[in-house]
Amino acid sequence: MQGIKGNLKIVPSYEDDFDKCLDSLGKILIERITTAHKNSEIDLAKYDDISFTPVLDKVLQINDAFLFEEKLVLLLGIAPYIRPGFLEDIMAQALPQGGEFIAFGGVKGQHHRGILPTGETALFLLAGMNISKRLHFQKIFGSDALFAKYGLLQVDSVSNKEPNMSGRLTPDADWLELILLGQEAAPVHSIEFPARKISTSMLWEDLVLHPQTKDQINDIQVWMNHHDKIFKDPTFGRKIKPGYRVLFYGKPGTGKTLTASLLGNKFDIPVYRIDLSLVISKYIGETEKHIELVFSRAERKRWILFFDEADALFHKRVGVNTSNDRAANQEVSYLLQRIEDFEGLLILASNFKNNIDDAFLRRFHNIIHFPMPGTSERYKLWVQSIPGDMKCNSDIDWKEIADKYEITGAEIINVMYYASLKAYSRKENIILKNDVYEGIKKELKKQDKAFSY
């Protein structure tokens, strides 16, 4: 997550650290309530000292861009997750005679029995009853402020007739898991996050591509390494958008998904493949809503997004004859704008380039063809796919097989997998020519192609 300190995996003596932080936060809140009754103010700066702030930084695990006041709000937002009943205890100490203090804010949860902090609670923490200061600090919840930029905290929306800041403070689930458990878990695949993380244990050496395709893949790596420098250029940076959009097209099994996964491995960036079965909805507006959930989260985390079979979403627009046609075109228009605004690497994969709307094609930085492997590429794939603990019978001529049968890399893997299983079933470690041919026959049959020896 951008904004979180690099590889900080410390799970410190959290019990002590959290206790220290919450005790200090409690003192500030009690002093706020006490002074509010006396129409006086407190000086927050006196709490920003070496006994509190370094421990707070250690707990929150955020970068130096955040102000002390913003750190206090983050601590307030996570307080109920650490010490349930924290705010109730504060109110009991500050108001021993009981009663309500409306300016303190807070809401009751659906399941949580205690008080949950709201935007109003945060403003009271930072500014008390001072209206000008409250308005000043309300800016930290703006769409261009650090909470939104790093996706750490938000104020939940409320009904139109209630004050905006009466919404609950909601911390980011991934960040919360990082600071509570010491690691950030991958998001759960669901309707709220319709994407799955993809990865591979294969290496770049395992990827066999046409030389021209390799050169174009290298262009992506150049962008990954150097785009920040260009974007920061005072003259040219303002003229370009920060993201990179690329189309992979070619027959299934030619290496499109593998290439996306290897790019993620090389740059240590998670790659998420959009689950079109959850994204596409028959209800107007729902598809855009599902897509936005993934886009917004991926932007905050700097993930690579991968749309497989992209023509299901990025298809050509049609003539408007029905309301369904109009809705479909609206989806395409939304996607056009959204991919252009996406700040990371966006990869679309399709079997056919012509299925993609021309307006999308104009917005791609690169359009990369993954052709069927030629004879030399197929020979390399056959040889590289031989299992390390297997031998090949002497009558197998891989060059002849590569020259005769036009199949993809994925299909070659399937054939070798079949032949290896047959060898193990014989309790041997020798791959036989007949098993290889039988595997090829099965792959060709899937495509209704004839097989001949």
Q: Which pLDDT tens digit goes with each residue over 34-75?
A: 988 788 888 999 999 888 999 999 999 988 899 999 999 999
Q: Give the Cα separation of 443 and 411 in Å (integer).
A: 7
What torsion, rounded to 10 degrees, do the Cα atoms 234, 223, 243, 350 define? Answer: 160
**Percent of the chain at pLDDT above 70?**
90
Indicate the pLDDT class of residue 298, thresholds 50, 70 and 90: confident
pLDDT of residue 284: 55
Predicted pLDDT of residue 4: 47
Q: Which residues pair with 196 in a beta bridge?
A: 273
Give yes or no for residue 139 having a pLDDT over 90. Answer: yes
pLDDT at 11 (0 to 100): 44
Residue 162 has pLDDT above 80, yes or no: yes
Q: How confident is the model at residue 201 (pLDDT cuts 50, 70, 90)?
A: very high
Amino acid at 200: T
**Looking at residues 305-334, what average pLDDT do you find?**
67
Asked if residues 223 and 244 have their Cβ atoms less than 8 Å apart, the reply is yes
If you average pLDDT over residues 327-342, what whole number do you get?
76
- Read off the tokens for 24: 């200090």
Q: Is 334 in contact with 357 (CB distance < 8 Å)? A: no
Q: How far apart are CA 235 and CA 252, in angstroms?
A: 42
pLDDT of residue 206: 93
Angstrom distances, CA of residue 418 to CA of 390, 404, 423, 431: 13, 19, 9, 10
pLDDT recorded at residue 8? 38
Residue 240 corresponds to which amino acid? I
**Cα distances (Å, whole numbers) of residue 23 to 90, 107, 174:** 10, 22, 25
Give the per-residue pLDDT at 100. Answer: 79
CA torsion, points 430, 434, 440, 446, in degrees to nearest 10?
Answer: -120
Q: Looking at the predicted structure, is the pLDDT value of residue 6 above 50?
A: no
Tokens of 433: 């020519």
> Alpha-carbon distance 16 to 23, whole Å?
10
pLDDT at 236: 86
Q: Are 390 and 423 in contact (CB under 8 A)?
A: yes
Is the CB of residue 26 less than 8 Å from the CB of residue 89?
yes
> Could you tell me which residues come within 8 angstroms of residue 193 by beta carbon, excluding any fewer than 6 positions away?
187, 293, 294, 297
Do 175 and 184 form a contact (C-beta atoms < 8 A)?
yes
| pLDDT tens-digit series, residues 252-295 | 999 999 999 999 999 999 999 987 767 766 555 667 777 888 88
298 token code pair: 């991926």
Alpha-carbon span 313 to 195, nearest angstrom: 14
366-369 and 345-350: which strand pairing?
unpaired
* Distance (Å, whole) CA 400 – CA 9: 53
12 band by pLDDT with thresholds 50, 70 and 90 = very low
- Look at the block and give the residue holding tokens 């380039």: 353
- The pTM score is 0.74
And the tokens for 421? 């299983």
Mean pLDDT of 316-320: 51
pLDDT at site 7: 40
Using the predicted structure, report yes or no on whether residue 9 has a pLDDT greater than 90: no
Residue 30 has pLDDT above 80, yes or no: yes
Average pLDDT (69-84) is: 95
CA Rg, the chain, in Å?
29
Q: What is residue 118's three-state secondary structure?
A: strand
Return the pLDDT at 321: 52
> Where does the pLDDT of residue 205 fall: very low under 50, low under 70, confident under 90, or very high at 90 and above?
very high
DSSP one-letter string for 369-419:
E-PPP-HHHHHHHHHHTS-TT-EE-TT--HHHHHHH----HHHHHHHHHHH
- Provide the pLDDT confidence category of residue 327 given band limits of 50, 70 and 90: low
Q: What integer best gives the mean pLDDT of the chain?
A: 87
Enter the tokens of residue 52: 């509190």
Q: What's 142's DSSP letter? A: S
pLDDT at 189: 74
Task: Flag whether pLDDT at 315 surpasses 70.
Answer: no
Q: What is the dihedral of CA 203, 205, 208, 210, to 10 degrees?
A: 120
Q: Which residue has the tokens 């209630």?
A: 162
Domains of the chain: 14-181 (no CATH), 195-369 (3.40.50.300), 375-446 (1.10.8.60)
Per-residue pLDDT at 247 exceeds 60? yes
